[in-house]
Amino acid sequence: AVERLYLGMDFGTSGARFALIDKQGAIQAEGKREYPLYMSNEHVDWVRSWKETLFSLLEDVPVHLRPLIGSISVDGTSATTMIVDSVTGEPLWRPLLYNEGCPDALPMVKSVAPPNHTVCSASSTLCKLVSWWNSDASNKSAAILLHQADWLLWLLHGKIGISDYNNALKVGYDPEIDSYPPWLLSQPYAQILPSVKAPGTPIDYLSEGIRTQYGFPQDCVVCTGTTDSIAAFLAARATKPGEAVTSLGSTLAIKLLSTIRVEDARFGVYSHRLDDKWLVGGASNTGGAVLRQIFTDKQLAELSEQINPAQPSPLDYYPLQSVGERFPVADPKMAPRLHPRPDDNVQYLHGILESIARIEAKAYNLLQELGSTPVQQVFTAGGGSKNETWIKIRERVLGLPVRRAAQTEACYGAALLALKGCSPDEI
Ligand code: ADP
């Protein structure tokens, strides 16, 4: 039999990428596109930009590989919200981006949701929905809410109103009972919520028009997606409870697979569902942004080579870009601590890297204290993950194996979801 391939697309904050993989996970093709910039009524026309980018990516898939593609999945930015017509799929409102806030809706959301629920933040999908509900006069009975990934997938399969439980978390979906909770279902706007499936579930065949235009096979299926940060986690292929991914970019974010769900609003810790497990996450304000304020990337690489990672550094810092920390210490008034600064830059950097490693260790300890499966193995991603010296320091401080993840792109994680969902018999 001819080997099948699986297509994943990531619609991230700065652009879109695709990865085409085989059953073993080897990448057969990949590519990326920037979002073209269109304006409409003084706002960026994201609808046009995303749609065009989706089809540009399909065009970028090598023609000779397209007939082998068994399934497609897409991830998008979390809490990027669209209100569309439930028949035509045409947007009824400007899409609201992941980081946009709707504080006007917060009092109403807080009055119906349990205290400290994920939806009680101005940028949550539910606040966006309620803000639209309260302000827009257009026909509410014809509307349906979709997340960015749901809408892009809809363009491919044509069945309106389907989401996944990762994207739906911030609108209030409860993945534990696998349903919207009663407090949400009793609201008038509950009628526009999409139905929800597990990420990587086959939805329908790729629509005929697209299939014939681009040369995809007749049985190519489109599967539910996830959010961009979960797709990036999936890319690292951490699959067992106790396996974790630390992302060392501008900030430090950790995600740990656990058999137990953990939530703590004080620390901004919450869990996404991944089939029969939980993906527990938290994000600290420390990370690479502080390093970049002090050193160039070239200096970072050169100085790191001179550090002896087996030697503990006595310098105890708390590197922050500005005042305030949430996790693993909840203290909005915490001040950055980067003193005393030794004359020797090698010692200074050693102190900073070691201090960030201590914060990482404290973060994993806190998750365990809050009830998660203990961490056993750390994969690492982001700009800081290429620093081998830091990896050795972290192994010593964490007392755990730390490995660079082989794949870190969210589109690769989306391709793994396509692979998981490639079962046309389930449609
Ligand atoms: P983001 O996408 O969050 O902006 P990246 O994943 O691109 O960040 O990582 C960028 C960060 O990586 C920068 O803040 C920089 O300080 C850090 N970085 C770059 N090179 C190194 C290095 N050799 N050692 C440690 N950190 C590094």
In Å, how far are 125, 135, 286 from 172, measured between CA atoms? Answer: 8, 21, 29
In Å, how far are 115, 171, 287 from 127, measured between CA atoms? Answer: 15, 8, 30
Average pLDDT in the chain: 96
CA of 251 from ligand 1 middle (Å) equals 9
The model's pLDDT over 124-133, given as tens digits with 9 standing for 90+, comes to: 999 999 999 9
CA of 92 from ligand 1 middle (Å) equals 39
CB 319 within 8 A of CB 278: no
**Which atom belonging to ligand 1 lies closest to the Cα atom of 291?**
16
ipTM: 0.97
Decide if pLDDT at 1 tops 70: no
CA of 386 from ligand 1 middle (Å) equals 9
Q: Whose CA is nearest to atom 20 of ligand 1?
A: 297
273 vs 261: CA distance, rounded Å: 8
**Which atom belonging to ligand 1 lies closest to the Cα atom of 251?**
3
The model's pLDDT over 210-269, given as tens digits with 9 standing for 90+, comes to: 999 999 999 999 999 999 999 999 999 999 999 999 999 999 999 999 999 999 999 999
Is the CB of residue 294 below 6 angstroms from any atom belonging to ligand 1?
no
**Which atom belonging to ligand 1 lies closest to the Cα atom of 289?**
14
Is the CB of residue 53 below 6 angstroms from any atom belonging to ligand 1?
no
**Which atom belonging to ligand 1 lies closest to the Cα atom of 292?**
16
153 vs 197: CA distance, rounded Å: 13
**Which residue is associated with the tokens 């070239």?**
298
pLDDT at 136: 73
Q: What's the token pair of residue 245? A: 């991914």
pLDDT at 137: 67
Q: Whose CA is nearest to atom 12 of ligand 1?
A: 383
For 107, the 3-state DSSP assignment is helix
Rounded to two decimals, the pTM is 0.96
CA of 384 from ligand 1 middle (Å) equals 5
Q: What is the DSSP string of 326-359?
A: -SSS-BTTPPPB--S--S-HHHHHHHHHHHHHHH
The residues, ordered by sequence, that sit 6+ positions from 64 with a Cβ below 8 Å of its Cβ are: none
CB 263 within 8 A of CB 398: no
pLDDT at 360: 98
Q: Whose CA is nearest to atom 26 of ligand 1?
A: 384
Is the CB of residue 249 below 6 angstroms from any atom belonging to ligand 1?
yes
Decide if pLDDT at 424 tops 90: no
CA of 125 from ligand 1 middle (Å) equals 30
- What does the pLDDT average to over 324-341? 97
Is the CB of residue 288 below 6 angstroms from any atom belonging to ligand 1?
yes
